[in-house]
């Protein structure tokens, strides 16, 4: 846990150092694209952990790209890698035969999701009553690959997220986000299944992975060079 916190603090310091390189006064401009990265910790729920998703946190990193439709709606593509761990001996729930099971895996996911800001988000363009911060929600579809113990498995997933954005500068954004993804597979924990004697299917007895991330993004691609507001 201490090692994870040290890595996370180091990555956050690098992100904030990069942020200081971008300094610009707010102008009445808007942009079409958003690109950035985030770091934080990952969690898991499944056969080996059905209670506390962050009981054995791992390190997570993400790269994301957004198309900004307007100040409230965006379409985002995100690539995430995360380490997952679990140990059934830490919980009271026992498998048949009183057997214990532990695993370590690395996952790689690619998701596409729609994102909605609860407030009109931005700086400048005062006639739009933009806000420098906003809570947001997101949902979409994607896929995940898991590698553990020499085995690899893949599955479809449905990612869900909630977060908060804040504009550090006109084009620079800081965000904190919690996400969970429901996978339609049982392989995140080492391609194990049926530990409870219950056969898995497309929906039942499948795994979840989650992440708590802090990210820094940069907007680019001016929407228009000259815009005029008409009442």
Write the pLDDT tens digit of every residue in 168-227: 999 999 999 999 999 998 888 875 655 555 555 555 557 899 999 999 999 999 986 555
- Residues 139-172: tens digit of each pLDDT: 999 999 999 888 898 999 999 999 999 999 999 9
Asked if residue 28 is part of any domain, the answer here is: no
Check residue 24 and give its pLDDT. Answer: 39
Determine the structural domain holding residue 40 and report its residue range: 2-19+35-193+203-220
Count of residues in the chain: 231
Measured distance CA(29)–CA(224) in Å, rounded: 8
Mean pLDDT, all residues of the chain: 82
User: Both ends of the chain: CA-CA distance in Å?
Assistant: 56
In a domain, 215, yes or no: yes
Tell me the C-alpha distance between 187 and 109, whole Å.
13
Percent of the chain with pLDDT over 70: 72
CATH of residue 100: 2.40.160.20
Please provide residue 65's backbone torsions phi and psi, each rounded to the nearest 5 degrees. Answer: -130, 130
Question: Does residue 188 lie within any of the structural domains?
Answer: yes
- Residue 162 DSSP SS3: strand
Q: For the chain, what is the domain count?
A: 1
- 27 located within any domain: no
Classified as helix, coil or strand, 4 is: helix
pLDDT digits (tens, 9 = 90+) for 51-73: 788 888 999 999 999 999 999 99
Q: Is residue 95 part of a domain?
A: yes
Q: Decide if 14 is inside a domain.
A: yes
Query: Is 198 part of any domain?
Result: no
C-alpha 171/C-alpha 14 separation (Å) is 18
pTM of the model: 0.79
Q: What is the pLDDT of residue 28?
A: 47
């Amino acid at each position: 846990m201490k090692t994870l916190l040290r890595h996370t603090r180091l990555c956050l310091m690098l992100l904030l150092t990069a942020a200081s390189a971008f300094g610009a006064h707010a102008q009445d401009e808007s942009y079409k694209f958003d690109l950035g990265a985030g770091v934080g910790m990952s969690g898991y729920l499944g056969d080996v952990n059905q209670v506390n998703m962050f009981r054995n946190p791992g390190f997570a990193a993400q790269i994301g790209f957004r198309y900004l439709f307007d100040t409230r709606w965006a379409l985002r593509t995100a690539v995430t890698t995360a380490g997952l761990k679990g140990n059934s001996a830490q919980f009271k729930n026992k498998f048949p035969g009183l057997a214990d099971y532990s695993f370590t895996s690395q996952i790689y996911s690619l998701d596409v999701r729609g994102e909605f800001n609860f407030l009109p988000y931005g700086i400048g363009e005062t006639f739009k009553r933009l806000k420098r911060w906003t809570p947001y929600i997101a949902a979409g579809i994607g896929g995940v690959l898991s590698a553990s113990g020499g085995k690899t498995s893949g599955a479809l997933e449905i990612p869900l997220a909630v977060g908060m954005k804040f504009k550090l500068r006109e084009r620079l954004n800081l965000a904190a986000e919690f996400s969970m993804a429901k996978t339609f597979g049982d392989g995140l924990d080492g391609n194990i299944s049926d530990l409870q004697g219950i056969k898995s299917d497309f929906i039942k007895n499948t795994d979840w992975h989650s992440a708590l991330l802090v990210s820094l993004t940069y907007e680019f691609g001016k929407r228009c060079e000259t815009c005029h507001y008409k009442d």
